[in-house]
Amino acid sequence: MKPRWMSVLLIVALVGWVGVVSAQQAPAPAPAQAPAPSGMPEKTMEGKVKTVDQAKKQVTLEGGTTLTIPPSVKVEWTSIKPGAMVMVSYVEAGQLKTVRKFEVKS
């Protein structure tokens, strides 16, 4: 009878120890936000520039839309001024609108 109780006690202790050890493992890191995949549908928009933030590589249009211009898209930052009309193609991933093509209309 005594060996049976020892076995049960050993199993309970082992199960409890495994639960504590597995609960102490660090959670997996959250995936980094990747740029929008090229397979996403491209949208087109025309609007008037409200603000330009060259440091953040962002242009905000008068309607409130903020567009991020990646380094792969070549733009003449000196030609992008408040009040300029622009035509853009972009992809959307959540709140981020990443420009694929940017043209100043004047």
For residue range 17-60, list pLDDT tens digits in order: 666 656 666 666 655 444 545 567 899 999 999 999 999 999 99
DSSP 24: T
Indicate if the pLDDT at residue 81 is higher than 70: yes
Does this model's pTM top 0.75?
Answer: no
CA-CA distances (angstroms) from residue 51 to 47, 68, 89, 99, 101? Answer: 12, 12, 18, 16, 18
Helix (H) / strand (E) containing 13:
helix 2-23
Scanning the structure block, which residue is given the tokens 């936000």? Answer: 33
Instruction: Delineate the domains of the chain, giving CATH numbers in brackets.
Output: 43-104 (2.40.50.320)
